[in-house]
Structure 1
Amino acid sequence: MGLVGVQENGNGEVGLSIGTKNKYRRMDSEVTEDFDDGSHHHHQEKRSSSTRKYVLACAIFASLNSVLLGYDVGVMSGAIIFIQEDLKITEVQEEVLIGCLSILSLFGSLAGGRTSDIIGRKWTMALAAIIFQTGAATMTLAPSFEVLIIGRFLAGIGIGFGVMIAPIYIAEISPSVTRGSLTSFPEIFINLGILLGYVSNFAFSGLPEHISWRVMLGVGILPSFFIGAALFIIPESPRWLVMKNRVEEARTVMLKTIDNEAEVEERLAEILLAAGTGSAEKYEEKAVWREMLSPSPSLRRMLITGFGIQCFQQITGIDATVYYSPEIFQGAGIQDKSKLLAATVAVGVSKNRFHIGCHISY
């Protein structure tokens, strides 16, 4: 069994002697190395925590546009009862007023893609909030059905812009490890918006009929102010910055949103490779459409899966259930407006509970 002793190497430096061999080692150096490793590990943990919080905040702020969609869907289901009584609109006009949002938001989504390539993801979200805000204000002050439709038109376009850009922006700023969960935030916030719309209906149902629906619709403007404030916090998409040859700015953004510098450089290299030059970008866009119209077997399966999920989700009739919940409960025998709108709040709570539960399970 070897003996352990303390030796001096002649220079006044102390080390350990193990057995018969002189295994000299600077003890002060070992302590310094351990301290440096611990300090580096602590710094890395602190940076990771800060990065996660920052990315989470960016995802939440980007998803606020989805709250606008959800709120509009939820609030209109109850507000339409008071609009009918105040403006004396017909059932056909009611259906047009409710249903036109889906069509108009489609056009907004189609226009939003090109707009985001021109002015950036961040400012497209700002534009979406401004358009929706204008539409909501128009509906709030509308003296007639015709003006309501104009406001609905603007709100639909704004919602289309916002719903399209939110998941793209979140995907482009998120690290790979959290990208899947963060890109589901817009869907969660749509359901949260629906619940808030139902709550607003119930909260303001006691006001006079010519005021109640205006207040309900007017409250929908509030999230737009939070989006405006968020513009001073959230960064621009690094992919868009690279497309505009602002590579160093893109690297700075990615260092804020990704705690692993190796992943930052890897993703930056991928974006640079994909972006290339302006002509390469146009070629890439044409290639995407060519691939979509004449897909390979693997892409065809992905397209069928993606379109199939979306189609079956709509075929279930969930949108009709959300829009016409008050009328469904009215048909079931609930006549008091307060109880009617309270029942829709229960629908919103149940919807959010199961949606968030599925998200956590996933």
Structure 2
Amino acid sequence: MASAALPAAVEHKKKGNLKYAFTCAILASMASIILGYDIGVMSGAGLYIKKDLKITDVQLEILMGILNLYSLIGAFAAGRTSDWIGRRFTVVFAATIFFAGALLMGFAVNYAMLMAGRFVAGVGVGYAVMIAPVYTAEIAPAAARGSLTSFPEVFINFGILLGYVSNYAFARLPLYLGWRVMLGIGAAPSVLLVFMVLGMPESPRWLVMKGRLAEASDVLEKTTDTPEEAAQRLADIKAAAGITNDHDGDVVTVPNKQSSEETQVWKELILSPTPAMRRILLSVLGLHFFQQASGIDSVVLYSPRVFKSAGITDDNQLLGTTCAVGVTKTLLILVATFLLDRVGRRPLLLSSTAGMVISLIGLGTGLTVVGHHPDAKIPWAVALCIASILAYVSFFSIGLGPIAGVYTSEIFPLRVRALGFAVGVSCNRVTSGVISMTFLSLSKAITIGGSFFLYSGIAALAWVFFFTHFPETRGRTLEEMGKLFGMADTDMEAEAAAAAKEKVVEMPTS
């Protein structure tokens, strides 16, 4: 009976630890709601802002997209902040900044004040989109990392849905009040986030980098299946960070946190990377560029205008159909969380991108036909537009959407992970900003149908890039990723030697 009880106890511990890691991932990923809410709510609020403030299409598309450029400040600052105060408190900091930005936008009396609110909110968004996947990847066990690190994308989509629902709920308020309530109420999730995140543990990898090995060990024991796995992961993290114990195990030497270390990180990642590091960086930049350049923000952010071009003119029908897009995205991203660690990253990425290409061609065709017959509704073309949009967001949400965050959070070596993720997020936000700030002008120049044909061509190029550059990472530990991208043992030894040459300080393990 004792032999039968032992496996049951081990199985119970495994389930309990997975639940603990699952809870931590959910709490951290909630920071992504603020980005999703802003995207969703601006799609509808923009219609009323333009009417109330009497701004031009150019001013509107700048207002819609400028937040992505402002978020660069937060994304790069988050890398340094998270290494300084920890991953957990950086999430709190992100929520606080966005709270201030949401209030500024909600109380805006003119276009200038609205832009000021967008700046503050953008910095908060930059913090959130960088830190949530990094924390989740660092706390998740390898067997469930794909599912758990897709949670930020889940909450982005949930935030988009909340934004769409907010549009629909407050659209009947007076013109001067409706859009202000839509934007200002975005402060509410930030308050909830602050209180919930304070219950999270700190990232074990950050604790190791600070020499707090006892605390790191406690967290790993709560998020791994067995004590042996926890000990092995701790040893792997220490080796990756260039940290060693003395002979009796009571003192640990850690790299001295000086400006020279930050310079070294920039050198390893940007200035003089090894061929393997260059491949990792190129893969991440390409992934984030193609994720946004294939037109997702044009579909999501301007969905009411796209549906209007497709022949749906009533405001309630527009916002209702837009809500259907939000529901579809949210449901499909939940499906993706279950498939990432079962099917794998690469098959989902390739099939998702192929589906996006076909959907964009269908959307471009439908919009072109409708555009050539402005005085007559063509039911099959309208139906094709709606079906293509729903198919497009479905394919995006089941593959390319979540996988960008998953890949980026897991393939960088520990020493450059925070900065590397910040670089990837920066590429993502710049591309998103360019796409969202040019969509209306592009549609006028080459027609709205032509715009989506262009996006389909970009998505086709993306498929070729993904096919040639991305290996499968399912089930691998974070410390094993270097070999997948061609990092030879000599490169790893050189990295360890470089860490050993740095000045060190002695620090107790508890």
Structure 1 segments of 4 or more deviating over 6 A? 280-284
- Cα separation, 1, equivalents of 2:147 and 2:30: 16
Structure 1 residue 323 corresponds to structure 2 residue 301: yes
Structure 1 residue 278 corresponds to structure 2 residue 255: yes
- Cα separation, 1, equivalents of 2:88 and 2:40: 26
Structure 1 residue 69 corresponds to structure 2 residue 47: no
Q: Secondary structure at the match of 1:245?
A: coil
**Contact (CA 8 Å) 1:241, 1:247: kept in 2 or not?**
yes
Q: Deviations over 1:155-197 (max 9, x none)?
A: 1000100110011111111112111221111122212211221
Structure 1 residue 342 corresponds to structure 2 residue 320: yes
Worse overlay, 118-127 or 275-284:
275-284
Structure 1 residues 283 and 266, CA gap change in structure 2 (3 angstroms): farther
2:8 to 42, 45, 67: 42
Structure 1 residue 290 corresponds to structure 2 residue 267: yes
Corresponding letter in the other structure for 1:279? N
**Contact (CA 8 Å) 1:68, 1:223: kept in 2 or not?**
yes
Instruction: Identify the residue that residue 26 of structure 1 maps to in structure 2.
Output: none
Alignment TM-score, normalising by the size of structure 2: 0.61
Structure 1 residues 91 and 63, CA gap change in structure 2 (3 angstroms): same
**Contact (CA 8 Å) 1:112, 1:165: kept in 2 or not?**
yes
**Contact (CA 8 Å) 2:146, 2:337: kept in 1 or not?**
no
**Contact (CA 8 Å) 1:129, 1:227: kept in 2 or not?**
yes
Worse overlay, 197-206 or 107-116:
197-206
Structure 1 residues 211 and 49, CA gap change in structure 2 (3 angstroms): same
2:70 to 98, 101, 104: 104
Instruction: Identify the residue that residue 17 of structure 1 maps to in structure 2.
Output: none
**Contact (CA 8 Å) 1:62, 1:169: kept in 2 or not?**
yes
Instruction: Identify the residue that residue 185 of structure 1 maps to in structure 2.
Output: 151
Instruction: Identify the residue that residue 164 of structure 2 maps to in structure 1.
Output: 198
Instruction: Identify the residue that residue 120 of structure 1 maps to in structure 2.
Output: 86
**Contact (CA 8 Å) 1:242, 1:275: kept in 2 or not?**
no
Quote the sequence identity (%).
Answer: 49
Q: Deviations over 1:315-334 (max 9, x none)?
A: 21111221111112222332
1:145 to 106, 111, 131: 111
Structure 1 residue 162 corresponds to structure 2 residue 139: no
2:310 to 308, 318, 332: 332
**Contact (CA 8 Å) 2:105, 2:118: kept in 1 or not?**
yes
Structure 1 residues 230 and 315, CA gap change in structure 2 (3 angstroms): same
**Contact (CA 8 Å) 2:106, 2:185: kept in 1 or not?**
no
Q: Secondary structure at the match of 1:302?
A: helix
Compute the displacement of 1:131 (Å).
0.2
Structure 1 residues 74 and 50, CA gap change in structure 2 (3 angstroms): same
Q: Secondary structure at the match of 1:178?
A: helix
Instruction: Identify the residue that residue 330 of structure 2 maps to in structure 1.
Output: 352
Instruction: Identify the residue that residue 223 of structure 1 maps to in structure 2.
Output: 189
Q: Secondary structure at the match of 1:143?
A: coil
- Cα separation, 2, equivalents of 1:349 and 1:317: 19
Worse overlay, 184-193 or 84-93:
84-93
Long gaps (5+) in structure 2: 244-253, 341-510
- Cα separation, 2, equivalents of 1:313 and 1:171: 20
Alignment TM-score, normalising by the size of structure 1: 0.84
- Cα separation, 2, equivalents of 1:304 and 1:240: 25
Compute the displacement of 1:283 (Å).
6.5
Aligned residue pairs total 328
CA RMSD in angstroms comes to 2.0
- Cα separation, 1, equivalents of 2:120 and 2:180: 16
Long gaps (5+) in structure 1: 1-33
- Cα separation, 1, equivalents of 2:7 and 2:93: 42
Point out the structure with max Rg over C-alpha.
1
Structure 1 residue 256 corresponds to structure 2 residue 222: yes
Q: Deviations over 1:20-72 (max 9, x none)?
A: xxxxxxxxxxxxxx33x333333222222221111111111111111110110
**Contact (CA 8 Å) 2:167, 2:182: kept in 1 or not?**
yes
